[in-house]
Structure 1
Amino acid sequence: IARNTEADVNVIALIGERGREIREFIEENLGEEGMKKSVVVAAAADHPPLVRLRGAFIATTIAEYFRDQGKHVVLMMDSITRFALAQREIGLSVGEPPTTRGFTPSVFSLLPKLLERVGTSQGGGTITGLYTVLVEGDDLNEPVSDAVRAILDGHIVLSRRLATHNHYPAIDILESISRLMIDVVSPEHYELSMKFKDIIATHREAEDLINIGAYTKGSNPKIDLAIEKIDAFNQFLQQGIKESVSLADSVSTLRKIVGNSS
């Protein structure tokens, strides 16, 4: 994202990451080209919790500075979970009671104070925030992910099941959602995406029957269509790490593979 975004500035906050991963990200993933328009704020895992906490707020303040100058900023934070864990450490040290799964009350009051700062300013600048959440035990309703999901405008869910099939990026599009999509894409794009998801959902519901050979072709036209298109759909959803595709090209390909699927 940092290498290929059309934003004026990238602000990247690495909160609670291992020191080796920080260096690797800057040198290999971001690279010289990505660094030209990026600001990196790093607070490694071995830093005190207060430093990790302040790292997240400093990165957001830097993003706000560029937004106030009328620039379009992408703020990427990895991860909001480690931000929450840092606040939990601080809360426990000052005597706060551990409540929801060991998290202190101050964690849930601090999350909106950080996350609500992104968005569009009156001066025309914008901050688009992307925050990673580490989900405990694959439970999407665990406290931090549940609280963050309630604040943000959408969520992208990564799937272990897809990763084990070497399907990358391992995004589960049926679990992922954008509350703003209908406001920011064309009516045609929105309709195509809804048809696409409907076909994927149909295939997933019938997947067990298909895999054990219990489904007979012709029994259900929707399942027949899903079986016909699933390979093309999965290919569309996969992309190489260094591959970049424009939105216009993505919509054009989506139009071709969805076709007349009504």
Structure 2
Amino acid sequence: MSYLDIKRLGEGSEHVLQQAIKDIKNIEKQMFEGRVVAVEGLRIEATGPAEALRLGAYARFGNKEGPRGELVGFEGERAVFLACDDVDGLRPGAAVCFSADDAIVRVSNSWLGRVVDAFGAPVDGGLPLAQGSISRQIKAVPPAAHSRARVSEPMSLGVRALDGFAPCAVGQRMGLFAGSGVGKSTLMSMLARNAQADVVVIGLIGERGREVREFVEDTLGIEGLARSVVVSATSDETAPRRRRAAWMTMAVAEHFRDQGYKVLCLLDSVTRFAMAQREIGLAAGEPPTTKGYTPSVFSELPKLLERAGPGKIVPAGQPQGQITGLFTVLVDGDDHNEPVADAVRGILDGHIVMDRKIAERGRYPAIDVLKSLSRLASHLYTPETAEIARQARRLMSLYSDMEELVRIGAYARGADPEVDRAVQLSPDIEKILTQHVNENSPPEETFAMLAQVLGMNAEAAPNPHIHAAEAAMAAQGGERRSENRASLARQLGGN
């Protein structure tokens, strides 16, 4: 820039200032070079200048346009990289080019409706993506706890089983725990289309390549994609790419949150992120612990999940950005207490459990409302809706306890009025929980349907006949109810 340009800049020339910013952005980053020492599979050992060697740094091998690798550890004075791309043909002595560019991302609002990879490159066959003006770290630090806004605003998800029994708040983080083949991806597509959010960011981590396009075009559809950004890393991609895709998903969500938008972040799945981190940890020399997971898996999980949630407190009158996170957990062999599921459940603000038995009997979404829980439910229910949910849950629990007896004919109608009512109403409640994939049901409609089945009006005032029946049941006392259940047990034993 010439002296005259600087002088005009000092005089407040706006166009010169903009040109200066553009020129600075276009300056090539300082490059450091090292050398490849050894190659073993995806593991690459290299040397390089001390100022470039730091955990999490990225490098390119051969030249500055070559395949990428992520620095995951050290062995003596050698840096250990894990390849992000195909490194066939790489040999000892090849150049290692270090740059800070791969550690940052410049998200733009024009990314809406697009599908990108772990490095922000388009994979949908569309035009090149515009780059935003703000650089952000791909692995950002979550906002400090004391600087975050409070979570209190209900969020309609459009799914009756969730809005009625596991309500979600704007800025809440919930886990979706499911085995394979129980309708997890279909439920995600319903949430992407129906949830009351300004922007939806979807991370597909470790999915089959065939399923990514099917999810985007068929399951998500044009309507869902229009307000969404999809980040994809298929199962055949390397562990660093799969892990980075999860970070990229959160970085994109943070971009829109910082603009004051209400963002819904759907990440499928946290389990595959953990598996990628396990693979990276083992390559870096970490010892395996429970089920082969390395210690870094359980330290990285909260760092990822805590990035969702409410944003920093903003001055009055400005929009408050929030990230509502729904993270799927693929439970191994339907074991909901395996290490990753157990760790994630302790971090999040609630859990949604999908049950294979419910899916097998044809009720979708296959959500087990008795095992699902929202930690903020008490803050989101009104007194009326809380009573409706409580009564419906109690009846379903009663029917679940007695279902086997009823099916084999061991239950005698009239033995327990509470059970009689549960047997009578449970099929109707089950119908309410059944929902077509393209159906959007607001919470008001959900509670109105439940109230009608329960014989309650919109204000949750009990029906007089039901109230009288419940009074009669209470008068029987615990002793009578115990006798009834003992009798049922004897009948079952006799059969």
TM-score normalised to the size of structure 1? 0.98
Output the CA distance in 2 between the equivalents of 1:174 and 1:5: 22
Letter in 2 for 1:193: A
Partner of 2:289: 99
Letter in 1 for 2:421: L
Aligned residues: 262
Segments of 4+ in structure 1 off by > 4 A? none
Letter in 2 for 1:84: A
Q: In the alignment, is residue 29 of structure 1 matched against residue 216 of structure 2?
A: no
Output the CA distance in 2 between the equivalents of 1:258 and 1:141: 34
Deviation at 1:254, TM superposition (A): 1.5
* Mean CA deviation greater in 162-171 or 121-130: 121-130
Deviation at 1:39, TM superposition (A): 0.5
Structure 1 residues 71-150: aligned runs within 5 Å? 71-121=261-311, 122-123=313-314, 124-150=320-346
Partner of 2:359: 163
Partner of 2:436: 240
Structure 1 residues 38-53: aligned runs within 5 Å? 38-53=228-243
Deviation at 1:166, TM superposition (A): 0.5
Output the CA distance in 1 between the equivalents of 2:447 and 2:217: 33
Deviation at 1:244, TM superposition (A): 1.0
Partner of 1:210: 406
The superposition leaves residues 83-108 of structure 1 with CA deviations (integer Å, 9 ceiling, x where unpaired) of 00000000111111110111111000
Output the CA distance in 2 between the equivalents of 1:119 and 1:167: 31
Deviation at 1:258, TM superposition (A): 2.0
Partner of 2:447: 251
SS in 1 for 2:194: coil
Partner of 1:57: 247
The superposition leaves residues 15-42 of structure 1 with CA deviations (integer Å, 9 ceiling, x where unpaired) of 0001110010111111222111100000
Deviation at 1:216, TM superposition (A): 0.7
Letter in 2 for 1:77: L
- Please, which runs of 5 or more residues in structure 1 have no aligned partner? none
Partner of 1:7: 197
Output the CA distance in 2 between the equivalents of 1:28 and 1:79: 20
The superposition leaves residues 193-243 of structure 1 with CA deviations (integer Å, 9 ceiling, x where unpaired) of 111111001001011111111111111111001011011011011001111
Q: In the alignment, is residue 229 of structure 1 matched against residue 425 of structure 2?
A: yes
> Aligned Cα RMSD in Å?
1.0
Structure with max Cα Rg: 2
Q: In the alignment, is residue 189 of structure 1 matched against residue 401 of structure 2?
A: no
Letter in 2 for 1:201: S
Deviation at 1:246, TM superposition (A): 1.0
Partner of 1:18: 208
* Mean CA deviation greater in 252-261 or 218-227: 252-261
Output the CA distance in 2 between the equivalents of 1:185 and 1:202: 23
Output the CA distance in 2 between the equivalents of 1:178 and 1:61: 26
Partner of 1:153: 349
Output the CA distance in 2 between the equivalents of 1:30 and 1:172: 24
Deviation at 1:6, TM superposition (A): 2.0
